[in-house]
Amino acid sequence: MEWDNQTILVEFFLKGLSGYPRLELLFFVLILIMYVVILLGNGTLILISILDSHLHTPMYFFLGNLSFLDISYTTTSIPSTLVSFLSERKTISFTGCAVQMFLGLAMGTTECVLLGMMAVDRYVAICNPLRYPVIMSKESYVPMAAGSWIIGVVNSAVQTVFVVQLPFCRNNVINHFSCEILAVMKLACADISGNEFIMLVATTLFILTPLLLIIVSYTLIIVSILKIRSSEGRSKVFSTCSAHLTVVIIFYGTILFVYMKPKSKEKLNSGDMDATDKLISMFYGVVTPMVNPLIYSLRNKDVKEAAKHLLRRKVFNK
């Protein structure tokens, strides 16, 4: 093996917004506020779904998992990003980078699969309501959620192992806010076509397949809704899945823009990252987890009623 142009890296430099100290301060404040909202919003949804017995249903079990995922996903990168904004030394160890890659990819993959499971739940609830309690029993929805986590962890472990085994050149500058797997792969001084193929297969299986499942489920749901004669009935039924559909559009819209848009070979090898990519990546990593609980609480009567009930019970207990 040629080692003249290679070195054993012990740390990476996260470029982020280096060279723009005022922007770093602005983004520090904005992201800190968003992170607090993420913790409070998703934490409240988890708490409500656990404490209110009326929400002990498959839909809210999945929603609790989604909220926990959003907290976990953002916690893998936001704290270190905030520290880097205020620090002159914007480095992360090779091991820390690998852990961040693994956790971020695991959470992201799990969320893709989980959203597909949630679409199936909405399909059964609307298109086959009489058999819903039987089909979506605890013996069904718990393994569905557990399977989403297992798929996310296994996919991330495989991809992360292949990436950390790549030889890296002396260029250790990651043109990103965190150790995102594509940004790290670009630093390798070896053929990464094998890694790209693995990522393509994983993308097809764990991003596009759940998306196809969502599209099919909602196509059948829409057909079923259109058969309802009264406009009030159609509106009531659609309201039960509108929050999930909104989250799917935001989540998949951003993730497909980042990971599925064509990239020229020159751009892939150059290591440069377009400013738009960075902003979209930040939107996907911070804004989406922040708006999820807002969408589910503002557009869901059950959650609002449960919150009011728990608040009244707390007041009366005092």
Whether 266 shows a pLDDT value over 60: the answer reads no
pLDDT in tens, 126-164: 999 999 999 999 999 999 999 999 999 999 999 999 999
**What pLDDT is attached to residue 272?**
46
pLDDT in tens, 59-103: 999 999 999 999 999 998 899 888 888 887 788 888 899 999 999
Residues 6+ apart with CB under 8 A from 166: 185, 188, 190, 192, 195
Of the ranges 11-15, 129-133, 308-312, the best mean pLDDT one: 129-133
- Structure tokens that stand for 163 in this block: 């990436």
Least confident of 30-44, 187-201, 241-255: 241-255
CB 101 within 8 A of CB 176: no
**What pLDDT is attached to residue 179?**
86
Handedness of CA 143, 145, 151, 157 (dihedral sign): negative
Whether 214 shows a pLDDT value over 90: the answer reads yes
| Helix residue ranges, H only, the chain | 21-51, 58-75, 78-86, 94-127, 132-135, 138-164, 181-185, 193-203, 209-226, 231-260, 265-270, 275-282, 288-298, 301-317
Residues 6+ apart with CB under 8 A from 205: 155
Report CA dihedral (168, 170, 171, 174) to the nearest 10 degrees. Answer: 50
Banded model confidence at residue 2, pLDDT cuts 50, 70, 90: very low
Whether 307 shows a pLDDT value over 80: the answer reads no
Whether 189 shows a pLDDT value over 90: the answer reads no
Summarize the confidence of residues 281-307 as an average pLDDT.
77
Whether 235 shows a pLDDT value over 90: the answer reads no
Residues 6+ apart with CB under 8 A from 127: 220, 221, 224
CA-nearest of 286, 219, 227 to 251 is 286
Which residue in the block uniquely carries the two structure tokens 């806010």? 177
CB 159 within 8 A of CB 203: no
Report CA dihedral (81, 244, 61, 113) to the nearest 10 degrees. Answer: -70
Summarize the confidence of residues 6-35 as an average pLDDT.
79
- Structure tokens that stand for 301 in this block: 């009567």
Banded model confidence at residue 268, pLDDT cuts 50, 70, 90: very low
Summarize the confidence of residues 113-130 as an average pLDDT.
94
Q: Which residue has the higher pLDDT, 227 or 307?
A: 227
**C-alpha dist (Å) from residue 303 to 63, 231, 298:** 11, 24, 8
**C-alpha dist (Å) from residue 253 to 39, 110, 147, 263:** 23, 17, 24, 17
Of the ranges 150-159, 199-208, 244-253, the best mean pLDDT one: 150-159
Bridge partners of residue 168, in order along the sequence: 188
| Greatest extent of the chain over all pairs of C-alpha atoms, in Å | 74
Whether 44 shows a pLDDT value over 60: the answer reads yes
**What pLDDT is attached to residue 114?**
95
**What pLDDT is attached to residue 299?**
62
**pTM as predicted:** 0.86
Summarize the confidence of residues 173-193 as an average pLDDT.
85
